[in-house]
Structure 1
Amino acid sequence: MQHSVKILVVGAFGVGKTTLINSVSEITPLRTEETMTTASIGVDSLDGREEKSTTTVAMDFGRITVNPEVALYLFGTPGQRRFWDLWEGLAEGALGALVMIDTRRLEDSFEVFDQLELRTSMPFVVAVNNFDGAPRYETEQLRQALDLLPEVPIVNFDARDKDDSAQALISLVEHALQFSSDEALA
């Protein structure tokens, strides 16, 4: 019997959530991408991602079979604050969250962590999407900069790479299962 596991993929605007789901999904992903319009000027900063012309307005959805017993159902959230009300419904029943960050814009991640903590109590893994030319930091530097607890895993990956993306998701599942086990023992 195959178990279905719901995973939330979160992060600030433009960190690569849609790219991750596209790269790893074994089904054609459901995407709610819309063309960015002049209404987003001054609202959605394109600094460092000037080529971006679309944005997720509801969610992305994909599926990956990890092994014969486990299939992950991926729910990617929109990155902009104005869409964050969608998080509650998307987070319901999720095992955990993959929190994607971009080291070129670490400050954009703070609101995401606040949102995650306000709306959920689920375990999460921080996934550093290694954009070309982005600064690289040691794990402990990132932990300190993001004010993360020692038990929060940090992984580096390239969201465009299927194997990298799958490994980041597996790291989340392993952490969430350990978190659940620790909670049961407490």
Structure 2
Amino acid sequence: MTPTEPAFRPSAAASAAVRPPLPVKMVIAGGFGVGKTTAVGSISEIEPLTTEAAITEVAAGVDDLSHTPRKTTTTVAMDFGCITVDPTLKLYLFGTPGQERFGFMWDDIVEGAVGGLVIVDTRRLDDCYAAVDYFEHKQIPFAVAVNAFDGKVEHTLDEVRWALDVNDRVPVLVFDARERGSVRDALLVVLEQALARTGE
């Protein structure tokens, strides 16, 4: 053995075992009060970073609180959390602010994301049109997740698909933003969409 030759050369399997998981960025979007912050908080393995601010009288006059009367805060920049899917993959989650007046942040938040989860409240479908249009325009893979407020939804998934006029290839599903497993399953659907896009 020469002085420059290493005394131990790890096997390929050993190298793979210690390799950190691949970081993947994913965006959670949707209208005001649909459950984006809740979804990030439900699944994040770290204490989620939130930029919640109290809803002022001025904001209450701009944002529709009729379907969220108990909501006292709103996201003014973004939410952030992460979840290790398996030893090879770690999702970094970025939640967008829901109000249109914060739309100027979207390009920066979405940059580098493999896909998006658009959360929908079926009582206020109009609020998610901007998010759907954004991902379609940017040609970013996404799925539509109908948040089951109080365990129910106001419209069927077929009705939601028709109302949003999304492509048949876009998954539309029901989930509960409060339930970790439900959020995980929804994110995995987005990941599958992203992987399918790369295989085309």
Measured after TM superposition, the shift of residue 133 of structure 1 is 6.2
Listed as ranges, the gaps of 5+ residues in structure 1 are none
TM-score normalized by the length of structure 2: 0.87
**Would you say the 8 A contact 2:147–2:153 is kept in 1?**
no
> 1:125-148, CA deviations, whole angstroms, 9 ceiling, x for partnerless residues?
001111016534332222111101
Report the counterpart of residue 69 of structure 2 in structure 1: 50
Q: How does 1:131-146 map to 2 (within 5 A)?
A: 131-132=149-150, 134-146=152-164
**Amino acid corresponding to residue 141 of structure 1 in structure 2:** E
* Whole-angstrom distance in 1 between the partners of 2:176 and 2:169: 23
Aligned partner of 1:175 among 193, 196, 199: 193
Report the counterpart of residue 87 of structure 1 in structure 2: 106
Greater share of strand: 1
Quick check: which has more Rg, 1 or 2? 2
**Cα RMSD, aligned residues only:** 1.3
TM-score normalized by the length of structure 1: 0.93
Report the counterpart of residue 125 of structure 2 in structure 1: 106
* Whole-angstrom distance in 1 between the partners of 2:140 and 2:52: 26
**Amino acid corresponding to residue 179 of structure 2 in structure 1:** D
**Would you say the 8 A contact 1:103–1:134 is kept in 2?**
no
Aligned partner of 2:181 among 140, 160, 163: 163
The sequence identity of aligned pairs, in percent, is: 48
* Whole-angstrom distance in 2 between the partners of 1:54 and 1:138: 29
Measured after TM superposition, the shift of residue 111 of structure 1 is 2.3
**Amino acid corresponding to residue 27 of structure 1 in structure 2:** I
